Amino acid sequence: MKKSLVVALLILVVGTTAYSQQDKGDVNVTFSGTYTSNKLYSFGQIFIKGGYFVTKNIEAGIKPQFLFGDGFSGTGVGLYGTYNFLTKDAKLVPYAGAEINHSSLKSGGGEESGKMKQTNMGLYGGSKYFITESLNVDAGMNFSFNLASNPSEMDLGMIFQFQVGVGFIVGNVNKKKVVAE
């Protein structure tokens, strides 16, 4: 039984001629999440990134997010730019980028309840491993710092996070489909 599973897995892996085919005009959708914890707070984030490849290497997009944590929850939106280090027929695509995010947070009940805002800027990097031509597993690191300038904004300080997600290259919105004759 074990040998059958190993053989089936090898056929699946070897038989999948996966490589990144992102190109100018492609659309990328990624679902990812993070979890952060220290002595003062712990929280998680779920992201839905939607990006457009301006060139085959440069992706620009929007990143709605949902935050949840000890005593607070919230939503936010961010803008990002990513440079993908493509290699010919690559299954693994390293990337680096920058982002700016704004979140509205609502704290729990009690005397400390209320609404807060958080704006942060960050740098990130990671790699996408393409399982198929369009499906990838995305893992990376993110370092961000808060741009809070007044007491009504929540200042979480500098944050270092690991993120994991699944991405899809939807396809080129500008390419014409070829119909076989």
In a domain, 177, yes or no: no
Residue 158 within any structural domain of the chain: yes
pLDDT tens string 131-147: 998 999 999 999 988 88
User: Cα–Cα distance between 90 and 127 in angstroms, integer?
Assistant: 11
Q: Is residue 176 part of a domain?
A: no
Residue 177 CA to residue 171 CA, distance in Å, equals 11
Strand-pair partners of 163: 34, 140
Residue 69 has pLDDT above 90, yes or no: no
Residue 8 domain-assigned (yes or no): no
The secondary structure of 22-64, three-state, reads CCCCEEEEEEEEEEEECCCCEEEEEEEEEEEECCCCEEEEEEE
Domain-embedded: residue 4: no
pLDDT in tens, 81-104: 999 998 777 789 999 999 999 988
Q: For 97-114, b where at least 16 C-beta lie within 10 A, e where not — what string?
A: bebbbebebebeeeeeee
- In a domain? residue 43: yes
Q: Which domain holds residue 82?
A: 18-170
Provide CB contacts within 8 A for 153, sequence distance 6+. 116, 117, 118, 119, 146
CATH of residue 86's domain is 2.40.160.20
Average pLDDT, the chain: 80
CA distance 109 to 87: 52
Domain count, the chain: 1
Q: What is the pLDDT of residues 73-86, one digit of tens each?
A: 899 999 999 999 98
Q: Between the CA of residue 47 and those of 33, 35, 58, 74, 84, what are the distances in Å?
A: 6, 12, 20, 12, 19
Answer for the pair 79, 102: CB distance below 8 angstroms, yes or no: no
Residue of 107, 163, 138 whose CA lies nearest to 28: 138
pTM exceeds cut of 0.95? no
- What span, in angstroms and rounded, lies between the C-alpha atoms of 128 and 97? 13
